[in-house]
């Protein structure tokens, strides 16, 4: 035997502690695509969506908003220069140790 319960009379959440929920929140991508979803914010802007993301479009483009790639490349160049300098110093030490005094 099943009992019928009216969910209108039952309160699942406490009142006045939850954010306002917007059923028609507008999302806008930097490529211009817009759509409507439910959210706790009335409007949002995003940088990538399935319309412009390189994985979905198949285009090889670099997505770097915080210049992390450039910072990494600069660090890699410095590291390589340091390694080159150390190798040259070792070579000079070997040459000096080979010369008769």
pTM: 0.43
Query: C-alpha angle with apex 86: 84 to 92, nearest 5 degrees?
Result: 105
Q: List, for residues 35-75, the tens digit of each pLDDT value.
A: 999 999 999 998 888 888 776 677 766 666 667 778 889 99
Which residues, 6+ apart, have CB-to-CB distance to 41 below 8 Å?
Answer: 22, 25
pLDDT in tens, 4-40: 555 565 667 677 888 888 999 999 998 889 999 999 9
């Amino acid at each position: 035997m099943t009992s019928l319960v009216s969910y209108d009379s039952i309160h699942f959440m406490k009142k006045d502690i939850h954010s306002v929920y917007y059923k028609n929140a507008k999302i806008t991508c930097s490529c211009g695509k817009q759509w409507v979803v439910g959210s706790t914010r009335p409007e949002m802007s995003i940088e990538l969506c399935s319309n412009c993301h390189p994985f979905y479009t198949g285009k090889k483009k670099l997505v770097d908003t915080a210049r992390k790639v450039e910072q990494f490349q600069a660090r890699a160049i410095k590291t390589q220069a340091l390694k080159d300098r150390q190798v040259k110093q070792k070579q000079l030490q070997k040459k000096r140790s080979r010369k008769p005094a």
